[in-house]
A = this chain, B = another copy of it.
Amino acid sequence: MAHLQETERKDRLVARIRRIAGQVAAIERAITSEAPCSETLHLAAAVRGAVAGLMDELVEDHLRAHVAAPGLSDAERTAGADELATVLKRHMR
């Protein structure tokens, strides 16, 4: 059961990342086909939003699996919280 959930989670994340890859490819096409500047900007902004959504999901997964999950040791929770605090401070502004 845990295995199935983990597989589903991975499939969902991979699908999300492939959509982002498709959006990145669309920016390249917009630039090489000389699409209007504002169209390219909107495509890049969409990727930005999609990557922020992916980060949200990864951060929440990490928070639940490595800090909040039942059965972790105190040291494991502290390590998980340290890693999360580092990522948030460096990157989530």
Question: Which A residues are within 8 Å of any B CB, using their own CB?
Answer: 10, 13-14, 17-18, 20-21, 24-25, 27-28, 31-32, 37-38, 40-42, 44-45, 47-49, 51-52, 54-56, 58-68, 70, 74, 77-78, 80-81, 83-85, 87-93
* Interchain residue pairs A-B with the least CB separation, the first 8: A45-B91, A68-B81, A68-B77, A38-B83, A70-B74, A60-B85, A17-B28, A52-B93
Judge whether B41 and A60 touch: CB under 8 Å.
Answer: no
A21 vs B49: C-alpha distance in the bound complex, in angstroms? 16
- Grouping DSSP codes into helix (H, G, I), strand (E, B) and loop, the A interface class, with mixed when no group exceeds half, is helix
A55 vs B32: C-alpha distance in the bound complex, in angstroms? 17
Residues from chain B with a CB closer than 8 A to the CB of A85 are 56, 59-60, 63
